[in-house]
Structure 1
Amino acid sequence: MVPLRPILGLLVAAGCLLAGGTRCSGDGLLPWIKPEQRTVRVRHPTQLPRAALPDTPPPPTVSAPRWDAPVWNLSLDEAIRTSLSNSEIVRVLAGVAAVSSGRSIYDAAISNAEIDVAQGRFDPTVAVDNFWNRTENPFALIDPGDPQRTLIAGSQSDAYDLDFALSKSNLTGGVWTFGVADNTTRVPGPAPLNPSNSTALDLSYTQPLLQGGGIAVNQAPIVLARINVERSYFQYKSSVQGMVFDVIQAYWSLVSARTVLWARQQQVTQLEFALQLAEAQEAADLLSAGEVAQSKVSLASFRSALIAAKAEVVRRETALRSILRLPVTLQRRVTPSTPPSTEQVQFGWEDLLGMAEQYRPDLIELKLILEADQQRLLQARNGALPQLNAVANYRWNGLEGVMPVGDRVYSSLGENTGWTLGINFSVPIGLRAARAQLRQQELIIARDRANLDQGLQSASFFLAESLQNLDQFYEQYRATLETRAAARKNLEFQIARYQGGLTQYIVVLQAIVSWGDAVSAEADLLALYNIELANLQVQTGTILETHAVFFYEERYRSIGPLGCLGSGRCYPRANPPSDNQNVYPEGDRPSEEYFDLADPLEPLRDLRRRERDVLPPLDPPAPTEPFPDDWPEELPRSPAPRMLQPAGVLPEP
């Protein structure tokens, strides 16, 4: 018989050697064990799954702006509605591309599942252990036939153990436990009972009296989970507010860029006409070559400005398509059709502060953080208490088995009972760690209160800045109206003087420049004013309520508490925003047409028509598409959009 101990020693030594050899010499010593990972293995990008690419033609550029594409008259309300319907991933505008804000319609629903995770602590728990055991232990005994010799025999015993436990925690921190034990044993040789079967029923209850005890501290994880759901919801709402504001900003920026483009086109058209006129006059010896060269320089400069204006329109339209989550290239050209608001809106300072304190998502989140801090403070205070538990247990014991004579005997569960009452106490001397955590949580509350105070102060400054900007932009807009009117009168005056031969054409060129700059400034400032109106709604936290945007639960059926044995339960899947209501005035033509965009050089063209008998024939060039030059003379005044309507008075969809 081979001794076992040396064999075991050799196996252990071989295992250690092979383990060390695997680290040193590589693979192959233990083929059934995977080798160590010593290199970084990265797949080639072509081996990764491909994503579906949209079938999109090349984007428009300044050289190929696609002005001849069909026009899509897009209102601002429709633009907001489009962005909300495509808000599975909430976007923010970064340059001309919208990027993810890090929030989605699924975030609140994902956080909502944590509530069930926290409540699962109080669900009943069932534990069942089943074991069939056979034990055969060798033992030595003296050989009856030869006392000098020893025999080795084995003792075999069979056993069956069943342990069942059902436990349930309650809100006070106590734990109820009901247990059943059933143990059957069969041993070799004579025994009072063979086989014997012992049974027991246990009912116990453990109640923490200090640490871990109390309804509030045991509900704290559930309250924290609910607060986290609210935080996720308001973070999501804040990102949607930012997306709606970016849509409005991109929309009015496109309106401004299109108006500036019209002004630059008019300037180039007028300078082209002036250059042709100057060249005709030079041919008739009525103008010097230097004056003609000066007209060429001015025309080249304004053509460069026109290219920049065209590029700005292309960029702004691309940015609007991006924030709406539309393809980079559309078959139709986006044309804003909502007229900008030209009415000055007045606000009450105290009302604005009150709405900001109540509706701003960032301030709401700071309040929720303080609520969560209070729950954690409750937990920290409870954790600083000693462990003191009251324990109670009652047991019903039973026994049955087969006597040596072959008869079965048993005792009922009620004949043999036992009970236990006790107190468990433990405490770390000094409670250093628990007191440090309590002190840390108190400091966190002080910090978060300071953050809330700072947030309120910052909100007041943001509101003040928005009101200051509104007043500034509107007053500047009114000033540009006067500037534009004066520039128009100056241009008409210089044209009349030029027609009468009282001034040089360079003065008319300067008047053209002043008039075009005034039109551009008016468009820029009116766009800034309309953007700032939306920004004020953001600063008060009411931009979604103003546009009647609400969130609703999109539900789906998922596996319930009974698993595959029960029917699927409806749980929230997402929180998409509803469609917005129409807030802005309707428009039936491009937004820039609501400006007074009439051609100021029509009198010069009439003069040129009258001079055709003297000078060579010359037809003025038509304005460059896409904007016509026959727009109305008067500036219509559009009504102001509904502003800062509290959420409570809006009907939910």
Structure 2
Amino acid sequence: MSRPLTHILRCFLVGLLIWATGCHPTQPFYLHEDGDMSHFLDKATQTEHPDVDQMPLAEVQHAEKPLTLSNPEFKEIWELSLEEVVSISLANSKIIRGGTAVRLQSGQLVAGTGEGSLTLNSVSRAFASTYDPAITESNPGNSASGPSTDAGVAGVRQGVEAALSEFDAQVSVVGNDGNGAIASHSDRPQNIPPGQAFGLPQVETTSGGLTSQVSKRTAEGTTFAFRNVTNYSRGFTRPLGFQPLESTWTTAFEVEARHPLLRGRGALINRMPVTIARIGTDIEIRSLQANLQDMLNNIETRYWDLYLAYRNLETAKVGRDSSLVTWRIIYDKWQAGTEPVQQEAQAREQYFAFRAQVEAALRELYNNENELRLLMGLSATDGRLIRPKDEPTLAQVNFDWNEILVESIARRPELIGKRWEIKQRELEVIWARNQLLPQLDVGAMYRWVGLGDDLINADRNGLNYPAVGSTAMDELTEGNYQEWGLFFSYAMPVGFRRELAGVRHAQLRLAREQALLEDMELDVSHGLTRAIRNLDANYQLAQTNANRWAASQKEVESVEALYRGGKAPLDLVLEAQRRRAQGQAAFWSAVCEYNKSIADVHTRKGSIMDYNGVAFEEGPWPDKAYWDATGRARERDAALYMDYGWTRPSVISRGPGESMAPSIEGMQLQVPGEEYYEELPTPEPTPAMPKSEEVPTPEVEPMMPEARSTMPKAKVVSSEAVMAPRRESQVAARPTPITTGPATAAPRSSSVASSNTSNPLRGNSTSSRRDSQVRPASYDEGTSE
């Protein structure tokens, strides 16, 4: 009875011991363990920093303390014209920073690129660069070594050079053994009776060989090959007396040609990968050009936004100073007991309201200046404050609708890129239809064969096989053994199911791209319509707000005179001052929006680069490329032209397009889609626009914060002087390239250039200089608060 209880007790104690100690793994014991675990990593994934040795940009390292309301001090004013801003921006742009288009919101043009856009969109690569065409051109594509590092741009997985490599001569040297060995040794017994006269009981041989070949495929699809096949054999495989030589060398030279008759025949099909790859490069170039145009439009928008910020600051300062004068008058009267405390508080509130507007305008000025610096590629703060030097135009610019509509459809880089995609799809349809043909190849081969005891000898001894000492090369060159052969191969799938699906797939892709192009053209026409409407509205608003400003100025003067005489209450004075400030701000806002609208119309019709005097061209190649191109050009010049009678397709590209504006004849600029005049006829007086001598055009210089505290008097000028645009009568010279990509970018990079002379479309004669060459003018008119 005690034995079962003892067994149960033992099991209970073992279970209790296991429960107390728990189950956990144990580490092994090492004899020379020193306890240093500094190399141990307890996490497989954690935040780390890469070991990249790249110094930060100097403009980032040496940025000074930002300008703020509490820190408004700067060293000097940097007056820049729009042409200088564009030149500096292009000189400092490897990445096209203004790649996001300007947006039209509620009648105002808003820059699409600002602080944070480049960083947030860097993963999606929304911003183009001058390296993109070269990256597309040098894409190696899929090869025997593996797939391309990227899928390629515009759906092209290889560049032109990679596509042309299919026509390069291919050299191969392989062993003749099935595994590619050049020599092998065998020693095997034979399953024959011993002593048999016609067999050997044991065969021991050494054999080897090498095949060397040079092959090349032509544009028509024919493959030519020239090869040498050399074999070596040593050992007896027959009884003594039946094999004259113990070792023999066999060599043969072959010339072979194979040509497809159906599938894969013709230069159109075989050169199609090269053409599609080149179209991919053209698409990327057009994409880069579209991004560059958006950048120029963003620069214009930021430039006039900064100009407007100066004007708004000046307007707020005028309101603040006038309200301060009013408050002091009311304060003195309140102290004398002639005015109630309510009017003093009302005047004081008006002053602080205008003061808040000054502070908000100053902050907006700093922000706009900072955004313009970002587009220019400059440091956020370098002790200088950029101030626009150009004045906005007040002249009315008229565009002929039919001409600019045609121009926008023909010149918009987005539409040109889409047409290139359609050309790609057309070629793909031709390629897919070619796959419906059976594979029918024919060819021929001719071979010279030589056999001998040795492979080659320095002297010809006249011995031929089977003599001892004969050489295979002597036998071959004597031409005793010649062979030939004809090849014929035919293959086709029954039903062509995959091939028919490929044709339908290519046709549907072509139809989709054509439909998308139609809708893109519709979208461009709608956008151009909206831009023209916005341009005309802003011009009308500028005229209306000019009259509004003039009326409010007269109202302020009359109400202040009545108030001094005790014939008007204070409310009328304060309200008149507010309306004057609102009218002045509305006028300058409409003028700046009008100038931005002009640039927006040029962007939508694809002429913004001409408008800013910017050229788009290819960057420099290596010197070896120019040397090879010159040699090929001389070779073609010395050749004879042969007309085959027809080619397919007849046209792939219509050649380079015009990028610069035509010349000037007389004083009228002959640019398709627009007309510029030195003087426009005086419009008829209307209720919104009185007689010309009554139209005020206040000439307020772009001022620094707090540079002046009084409102300049309005100046009455003639409408001809108001509406006459400033311009040059000389034609802009050919732009000097300013390469934004490195000259060593393989195989080539793109560059943008700005004109060294004034652009006749812009009208300001200034030189394009880099940041290091442009020195700001000294400013001694005042400092900011």
Under a length normalisation based on structure 2, what TM-score does the superposition of the two structures give? 0.66
Aligned to 1:180: 228
Aligned to 1:137: 187
State which of 309, 327, 330 in structure 2 corresponds to 1:257. 309
Counterpart-to-counterpart distance in 1, 2:182 and 2:627: 30
Q: 1:642 to 1:349 in 2, by over 3 A?
A: farther
SS in 1 for 2:97: strand
- 8 Å CA contact retained: 1:256, 1:524: yes
Q: 1:155 to 1:57 in 2, by over 3 A?
A: farther
SS in 1 for 2:604: helix
State which of 438, 443, 446 in structure 2 corresponds to 1:386. 438
Paired residue total: 564
Q: 1:490 to 1:236 in 2, by over 3 A?
A: same
State which of 91, 96, 101 in structure 2 corresponds to 1:85. 91
1:56 aligns with 2:81: no
Q: 1:207 to 1:141 in 2, by over 3 A?
A: closer
CA apart distance, 1:554 = 2.6
Counterpart-to-counterpart distance in 2, 1:143 and 1:441: 69
SS in 2 for 1:462: helix
SS in 2 for 1:465: helix
Query: Where does structure 2 lack aligned partners over 5 or more consecutive residues?
Result: 1-25, 29-40, 99-111, 139-158, 176-180, 196-200, 455-464, 629-658, 664-668, 670-675, 677-696, 737-785
Counterpart-to-counterpart distance in 2, 1:55 and 1:161: 69
Aligned to 1:237: 289
Aligned to 1:472: 537
Q: How large is the Cα RMSD of the aligned pairs?
A: 3.6
| Sequence identity (%) | 25
Q: What do the CA deviations read for 1:568-623 (whole angstroms, capped 9, x no partner)?
A: xxxxxxxxx99xx9x99xxxxxxxxx84449xxxxxxxxxxxxxxxxxxxxxxxx9
Counterpart-to-counterpart distance in 1, 2:441 and 2:626: 32
State which of 629, 643, 651 in structure 1 corresponds to 2:710. 629
Residue identity matched to 1:241: Q
CA apart distance, 1:51 = 4.1
Counterpart-to-counterpart distance in 1, 2:424 and 2:313: 53
- 8 Å CA contact retained: 1:60, 1:314: yes
- 8 Å CA contact retained: 2:190, 2:203: no
1:110 aligns with 2:135: yes
Matches within 5 A, 1:561-576: none
State which of 253, 274, 296 in structure 1 corresponds to 2:326. 274
Aligned to 1:408: 470
1:441 aligns with 2:506: yes
1:94 aligns with 2:142: no
Aligned to 1:219: 271
Counterpart-to-counterpart distance in 2, 1:180 and 1:219: 30
Aligned to 1:350: 402
Aligned to 1:32: none
Q: Which moved more, 1:507-516 or 1:370-379?
A: 370-379
Q: 1:97 to 1:274 in 2, by over 3 A?
A: farther
Matches within 5 A, 1:137-216: 137-139=187-189, 155-188=203-236, 190=240, 191-216=243-268
Aligned to 1:359: 411
SS in 1 for 2:351: helix
CA apart distance, 1:519 = 0.6
Q: What do the CA deviations read for 1:329-351 (whole angstroms, capped 9, x no partner)?
A: 02211011101010111110111
SS in 2 for 1:44: coil
CA apart distance, 1:106 = 1.8
CA apart distance, 1:39 = 7.3
Aligned to 1:121: 166
Counterpart-to-counterpart distance in 1, 2:415 and 2:503: 26
Under a length normalisation based on structure 1, what TM-score does the superposition of the two structures give? 0.79
**Higher percent of residues as strand:** 1
1:529 aligns with 2:610: no
Residue identity matched to 1:273: V
SS in 1 for 2:61: coil
1:65 aligns with 2:65: no
Q: 1:361 to 1:50 in 2, by over 3 A?
A: closer
Q: 1:141 to 1:432 in 2, by over 3 A?
A: closer
SS in 2 for 1:193: coil
CA apart distance, 1:40 = 3.9
CA apart distance, 1:640 = 3.5
**Higher percent of residues as helix:** 1
Counterpart-to-counterpart distance in 1, 2:342 and 2:404: 61
Residue identity matched to 1:637: V
Residue identity matched to 1:80: V
CA apart distance, 1:139 = 3.0
Q: What do the CA deviations read for 1:96-120 (whole angstroms, capped 9, x no partner)?
A: 4563752111222232331121111
Residue identity matched to 2:559: Q
Counterpart-to-counterpart distance in 1, 2:163 and 2:611: 36
- 8 Å CA contact retained: 2:249, 2:451: yes
Counterpart-to-counterpart distance in 1, 2:72 and 2:90: 28
State which of 324, 327, 346 in structure 2 corresponds to 1:294. 346
CA apart distance, 1:186 = 1.2
Aligned to 2:570: 505
SS in 1 for 2:610: helix
- 8 Å CA contact retained: 2:251, 2:476: no
Residue identity matched to 2:706: E
Aligned to 1:617: none
SS in 1 for 2:220: coil
Q: 1:510 to 1:259 in 2, by over 3 A?
A: same
Q: 1:43 to 1:264 in 2, by over 3 A?
A: closer
Residue identity matched to 2:300: I
Q: 1:369 to 1:144 in 2, by over 3 A?
A: closer
Aligned to 1:518: 583
- 8 Å CA contact retained: 1:339, 1:638: no
Counterpart-to-counterpart distance in 2, 1:400 and 1:267: 111
Residue identity matched to 2:131: Y
CA apart distance, 1:382 = 0.9
Q: 1:185 to 1:595 in 2, by over 3 A?
A: farther
